Each structure stands twice: as C-alpha cells, then as structure tokens.
Amino acid sequence: MTQSSNTARELRLPDFVGVGPGRTGTTWLHEVLKGHVNLPAGIKETDFFTTNYNKGIEWYADHFRDADRIRPTGEINPYFGFPEAAERIAIHIPRCKIICTFRNPVERIYSAYKLWRHYTLTNDPLDVFLVKVPQIIEVTRYATHLPDYRARFGNDRVLVLLNDDLRADPQAYLDRVCDFIGIERYPVPASAAAGEPINSINDLPRFPRAARRARKFMHWLEDKQAYATTNFLEQAGAWKLAFGGGPKFPPLDPAIEARLHELMRPEIDALEQMIGRDLSAWKSPRAKSSRAPAGASAAQGK
C-alpha cells in the first residue's frame, strides 16, 4: 500500500513516535506523557506501521481524531527493528521526530521472552525460543537499525535514551523528552518517580488454558477497536488475574546469559561509538558490572 505524504499532511498524524523497542521503558514513557501530549484514543499501540498497515492511513489518523492543535501529537509504539516501519513512517510523516529507547540488550531479550511466556505465546525454553523467534534478537540490534532512522529523519530529529538513565534519574530523563518534543518540563508523577518498570513481568499464568482464551479475547476486542472494554477489563484487574498468579520467573540462566552477552557485544561496541556513551555496564552480567553508562556527550541523540 502506498500513500503520498501530501495526503498524509491533511490528516492529524503524530509529530513524534517513540519507536522503542519494547521492554525498554515504553509503557513508562506513554504513562508519564498522558495529559501533556495528544496520544492515540483508547489504546497505547496501534501497530499501524507494522501489522495494521493494510488498514490505511485514514484508519491510523482516526486514532488522533480528538487531538487538539495546541499540544504535540505522538505515539509510543515498538516499531524499532522493523525496517518497513521506518520506511512507512518516513513516507507518511517525513518531519516526524523519533524517540529510541534502549536497554541492556540481554535484559531486554529476557524481558521479551518473559512477556511471551506470560501471555502464553510460547512454552519453549529461552534458547529454543530465540531460534524460533529470531525477531527478538533482531530488534535488539540497536547499532544495526539506528542509522536507518538517522538517515531518514536526520540526526537532530532522532533522540536516543537509555533505560539506565531512566532508572538513575527519571526527572532528567523526562526533561530530555520534553525538550525534544517541544513541551514545557513538568514533574514526573509520583507513581512513576522511582523509574521502575510500569509493565514488568514477573510471573506465569496460574491457569495457562484460561490465559490462552483470555489472550484471544483480548486480541479480538482490540481488532474490533473495542478499546473501552479492553481498558475497563484491565482496570478491573481481569488481565492481571488471567495472565498472572503462577510460578515466578527465575533469574536468567548464567550460561545463556554469557552467550547472549557474547552475541550482543559487537552491537554494544558499535552503539558506544554512535551515541558517545560508555556502555561497559552492558558488556557483562550486572552482578559483575553494575555501573550505569556515564558521560552523555553533546552528540547524544543527534
């Protein structure tokens, strides 16, 4: 499907997109931006530039139908690592600002695996899962995909944020986002001030069969754009009840952790050079190296 950017400009489309990838603090960012920018109506992630692209740009723009013309409009959606998404964003909103949120790659990979297990999307052990779903590692190749966004949108329109900084100083992290998207700085809400993951996954479903039925129902509601029902069930605790309550996830197996660190080391080394940050804390298990990346350069995000 193709659509000219001229037509897109007649629609209300995002001024910025937080492309993720997922499990890097995207939910935290979405929640703290609520009320300060225009976000999609009723849902956090439209997945338009990936799985829902065939629904058309008008379908996407309809999610911003209530957006005012005063505040910036945006979406926080994990499009990072999907080259077709970067291309489509550039076609429809070429002046869009891009926010990339990066996390220790090994932590992100294990967190993504836990999410899949939590929602009964896989029952495979991690090593088997990563072979079957290579996209999990692919979207964690930050240095591989960051240059594509910078080339399409310009260095000054691509902001790179590190999850380590969110944990260390949530206010400074949010301030950088506010400055980038062009809104006044404001205090981080008390509920998010600790910088801890809002959407952390710690346990498996107590009843996997019921969880699978709940997942299919949840996706059916989203496909029908029954966002109000989905949100009501979430607020009522239905999804938490359906997908949690079972055994807790154990720490990542040290042998697998070591292999993942070795696999991702070239990406980390390359990213260091791209953003001018010391990422040595990402190069070995946190138990051995707990120091957060330091020394943000003036070139960060540019």
Specify if 132 maps to a domain. Answer: yes
User: Which residue has better confidence, 8 or 190?
Assistant: 190
Average pLDDT over every residue of 58-72:
95
Comparing CA positions, the residue from 25, 76, 77, 75 lying closest to residue 51 is 77
The pLDDT assigned to 198 comes to 58
The pLDDT assigned to 246 comes to 83
The pLDDT assigned to 2 comes to 41
- Token representation of residue 286: 């946190």
The pLDDT assigned to 193 comes to 76
The pLDDT assigned to 295 comes to 44
pLDDT at residue 140 is higher than 80? yes
Specify if 117 maps to a domain. Answer: yes
Average pLDDT over every residue of 255-273:
97
Specify if 129 maps to a domain. Answer: yes
Output the pTM of the full model: 0.86
Q: How many domains does the chain have?
A: 1
Q: In the 3-class helix/strand/coil scheme, how is the chain assigned residue by residue?
A: CCCCHHHHCCCCCCCEEEEECCCCCHHHHHHHHECCEECCCCCCCCCCCCCCHHHCHHHHHHCCCCCCCCCCEEEECCCCCCHHHHHHHHHHCCCCEEEEEECCHHHHHHHHHHHHHHCCCCCCCHHHHHHHCCHHHHCCCHHHHHHHHHHHHCHHHEEEEEHHHHHHCHHHHHHHHHHHHCCCCCCCCHHHCCCCCCCCCCEEECCHHHHHHHHHHHHHHHHCCCHHHHHHHHHCCHHHHHHCEEEECCCCCHHHHHHHHHHHHHHHHHHHHHHCCECHHHCCCCCCCCCCCECCCCCCCC
- Token representation of residue 158: 């691509």
pLDDT-based confidence at residue 212 (cuts at 50, 70, 90): confident
pLDDT digits (tens, 9 = 90+) for 76-104: 999 999 999 999 999 999 999 999 999 99
pLDDT-based confidence at residue 298 (cuts at 50, 70, 90): very low
pLDDT-based confidence at residue 227 (cuts at 50, 70, 90): confident
Specify if 298 maps to a domain. Answer: no
pLDDT digits (tens, 9 = 90+) for 228-251: 888 777 787 776 777 877 888 999
The pLDDT assigned to 8 comes to 43
User: Which residue has better confidence, 155 or 291?
Assistant: 155
Specify if 270 maps to a domain. Answer: yes
The pLDDT assigned to 57 comes to 97
- Token representation of residue 207: 């009843």
pLDDT at residue 294 is higher than 70? no
Mean pLDDT over each residue of the chain, to the nearest integer: 88
Q: What is the CATH number of the domain that holds 19?
A: 3.40.50.300
The pLDDT assigned to 300 comes to 31
Specify if 27 maps to a domain. Answer: yes
Q: How far apart are CA 159 and CA 18, in angstroms?
A: 9
Structural domain containing residue 90: 5-202+249-282
User: Which residue has better confidence, 265 or 298?
Assistant: 265
Q: How far apart are CA 69 and CA 37, in angstroms?
A: 10
pLDDT at residue 264 is higher than 70? yes
The pLDDT assigned to 286 comes to 67
The pLDDT assigned to 149 comes to 98
Specify if 296 maps to a domain. Answer: no
Specify if 216 maps to a domain. Answer: no
The pLDDT assigned to 196 comes to 52
